[in-house]
Chains A and B, each alone.
Chain A
Amino acid sequence: KQEVTQIPAALSVPEGENLVLNCSFTDSAIYNLQWFRQDPGKGLTSLLLIQSSQREQTSGRLNASLDKSSGRSTLYIAASQPGDSATYLCAKAGNMLTFGGGTRLMVKP
């Protein structure tokens, strides 16, 4: 059973669209939630970290929200660009850090 789930698994959008990536988790014991970006053949780059006491974090065109009561986090990407194409992973910190399966994003020019 996957404790952290990301939907959709893959997403293809035209350049300029605003989009939302979803992350849901089953265990309400959460201390923080982190969003990462992974480019093909590369490591993970931390994008945003939301502490359990926070509801959202913003960095540039990225906005991540956290709703502990519903077990959800969303990553909003505004005005998407081809350079945003990558796999986006969320990770929940409970007793340990648990990763979702990722969403593969393709932004077409």
Chain B
Amino acid sequence: DTAVSQTPKYLVTQMGNDKSIKCEQNLGHDTMYWYKQDSKKFLKIMFSYNNKELIINETVPNRFSPKSPDKAHLNLHINSLELGDSAVYFCASSIRTGVRTGELFFGEGSRLTVL
């Protein structure tokens, strides 16, 4: 009964392809996030959704399109993949959002490799 689960865990694809990563949380949290961890291990926020509504979009190229069908799911779709998109993408959730961000719970990550 994983709290935050992501699929797939590994993804290898060619440049120019379109791919999706799915995330689900069973914690009853209102807020979900996508983070990108680059090769230097820095974690950067990409998107934040609160109850299906986008609240943070951190200058991410519009090739990245998050979709939240309900507050328990936040999927990430990436169009026209580029080499620089290779990274580990983490989904996370928290009870609260905004300036009083509560404790974050992370998924295990999805390692994307673009060839």
Q: Which residues of A line the B interface, CB within 8 A?
A: 31-32, 34, 36, 41-46, 49, 87, 89, 91, 93-99, 101-102
Contacts and interface: CB of A to CB of B under 8 A. Distances in A.
Interface of B: 4, 33, 40-45, 48, 56, 58, 90, 92, 98-109, 111
Contact of B101 (A44, A46, A97): A97
B99 A97 contact: no
A32 B94 CA distance: 13
Given A43-B108, A44-B90, A93 B101 contact: yes
A49 B103 contact: yes
A34 B42 CA distance: 16
A89 B99 contact: no
Contact of B107 (A36, A43, A93): A43
A98 B99 CA distance: 12
Contacts of B90: 43-44
Contact of B104 (A87, A97, A98): A97
Given A34-B104, A96-B48, A96-B56, A101 B99 contact: no
Contact of B105 (A32, A46, A91, A94): A46
B41 A101 contact: yes
A44 B93 CA distance: 12
A81 B49 CA distance: 38
Nearest to A39: B108
**Nearest 3 A/B pairs, CB to CB:** A43-B108, A99-B43, A44-B106
B42 A99 contact: yes
